Amino acid sequence: MQKLQMVDLKRQYEKIKPEVDKAIQSVIDSTAFIGGPQVNQLAAELATYVGVKHVIPCANGTDALQIALMALGLEPGDEVITPSFTYMATVEVVALLKLTPVFVDVYPDSFTMDIDCLKKAITPRTKAIIPVHLYGQSADMEPLLAIAAQHGIPVVEDNAQAIGGTYTFSDGRTVRTGSMGQISCTSFFPSKNLGCYGDGGAMFTNDDALAERLRMIANHGQKTRYYHEMVGCNSRLDAMQAAVLRVKLPHLDSYCDARRTAADFYDKAFANNPKITTPFRAANARHVFHQYTLKLNGVNRDEVNQKLADRDIPSMIYYPVPCHKQEMLKAYNTANADLPVTNMLQDCVISLPMHTELTNEELTYIANNLLEIVG
């Protein structure tokens, strides 16, 4: 057995090597390195895949979130509601733009935004809500969108971990994550479900006016070259990354299936151990397992993490310090915010290797060792 990794990009690459190599070579041959047909075609293909009108590629997922908030025209001091149990980038852009992050707790099972907490957190100053489809599972968007609409607050989906996932509304309509908010954002960081071979990201919207603003902001605030209408930034996806993504996008559904198959294996292996809680799968969301994250109880999580490492099995804590307790936000005084579920999860979650190439032999080895360690 090869050395286990959290994410094995090498074996995935080997399966698509001829297509990827050809695509990269064609970009070099064309010398259209920035923008151009590869980027435009990727945007069109992603729009079809996710089911939205406009896709604006950009440099990374963090930029996508930042540009989304800029396009909504938020003013310093405006409140943005987000979970604290997420990757820091979700919240960092809020602080960067001098907006005020307002943290809400998450559900202990799905790890996504608690809708009752959201209701209580809304004030007249709330100007955006950022649900995060954490670990690959959609937040409960139907009630969230209803509350946002009732208050006229735009929703920015953080879909960095869930591209390929779906959400089903009570009327039976099934849509892709990333198609429900006024704007949604994703990341093509190599380890994401749709990853490129460098940095990349994109913004998604059905709103023509917002699409134009997003495009302008990502391009120095200009629509016509050298006529700058607003303060923007420079955030572009390069053509080589677009070419790689165009090779990988047709595989995304089968990649998600492979992750779900690995998750099924783990679920079955851990089903009867009272110290291990396997990931909850909401009936109305198709979980695409960016991470396979367990909750441990009655054992020391950090010891388990170390003992797995001693057996050459990688595991990760996503995330050891929730956003509201990060030094970065000390000016906002959020460290003591009332987020009991987030604080509890911080100490009990652990993520196992999860990627598209896990074999039964590897899964068996990981599962058996974890069961032995947990006891």
Ligand X SMILES: *Cc1c(COP(=O)(O)O)cnc(C)c1O
Q: Which stretch binds ligand X (CB under 6 A): 34-42, 54-62, 95-103, 214-222?
A: 54-62
CB of 190 to ligand X, least distance (A): 10
Contact 132, 113 (CB under 8 A): yes
The C-alpha atoms of residue 101 and residue 346 are separated, in whole angstroms, by 19
CB of 93 to ligand X, least distance (A): 9
Site for ligand X contains 38 (CB under 6 A): no
Q: How many CB atoms are located within 10 Å of the residue 116 CB?
A: 11
Q: Which of 20, 89, 121, 269 binds ligand X (CB under 6 A)?
A: 89
Contact 176, 187 (CB under 8 A): no
Decide whether 134 or 148 has the Cβ nearer to ligand X.
134
CB of 189 to ligand X, least distance (A): 4
Q: Which stretch binds ligand X (CB under 6 A): 60-68, 244-252, 323-331, 355-363?
A: 60-68
What tokens does 349 get? Answer: 């979650």
Contact 352, 254 (CB under 8 A): no
Q: Which stretch binds ligand X (CB under 6 A): 19-27, 83-91, 138-146, 214-222?
A: 83-91
Contact 58, 235 (CB under 8 A): yes
Q: Which of 38, 66, 90, 326 binds ligand X (CB under 6 A)?
A: 90
The binding track of 181-220 with respect to ligand X, each residue x by CB under 6 A or -, is ------x-x---------x-x-------------------
Site for ligand X contains 81 (CB under 6 A): no
Contact 210, 202 (CB under 8 A): no
The binding track of 107-146 with respect to ligand X, each residue x by CB under 6 A or -, is -------------------------x--------------
Q: Which stretch binds ligand X (CB under 6 A): 5-13, 82-90, 281-289, 357-365?
A: 82-90
Burial 161-193 (b: 16+ CB within 10 A, else e): bbbbbbbbeeeeeebbbbbbbbbbbbbbbeebb
- Token match 């604290």: residue? 84
Q: How far is CA 300 from the centre of its chain?
A: 28
Site for ligand X contains 57 (CB under 6 A): no
Q: Which stretch binds ligand X (CB under 6 A): 15-23, 87-95, 245-253, 273-281?
A: 87-95
Site for ligand X contains 60 (CB under 6 A): yes
φ/ψ (deg, to 5) at 82: -145, 160
Q: Where are the alpha helices (DSSP H) in the chain?
A: 9-30, 37-50, 61-71, 89-96, 115-121, 141-151, 208-218, 239-248, 252-270, 301-310, 340-348, 360-374
C-alpha pair distances (Å), 214 with each of 104, 184, 202: 27, 11, 10
Q: Which stretch binds ligand X (CB under 6 A): 22-30, 57-65, 123-131, 214-222?
A: 57-65
CB of 277 to ligand X, least distance (A): 22
Residues 337-366 that bind ligand X (CB under 6 A): none
Q: Which of 114, 158, 357, 362 binds ligand X (CB under 6 A)?
A: 158
Contact 190, 220 (CB under 8 A): no
Site for ligand X contains 318 (CB under 6 A): no
Q: Which of 66, 138, 161, 205 binds ligand X (CB under 6 A)?
A: 161
**Which DSSP string do the residues of 265-303 spell out, in sequence order?**
HHHHHHTT-TTEEPPP--TTEE---SSEEEEE-SS-HHH
Contact 247, 102 (CB under 8 A): no
∠ at Cα 51 (46, 53), nearest 5°?
A: 80
Decide whether 51 or 190 has the Cβ nearer to ligand X.
190
CB of 42 to ligand X, least distance (A): 16
Q: Which of 4, 7, 54, 87 binds ligand X (CB under 6 A)?
A: 87
State the residues that interact with ligand X by CB under 6 A. 60-62, 86-87, 89-90, 132, 158, 160-161, 187, 189, 199, 201
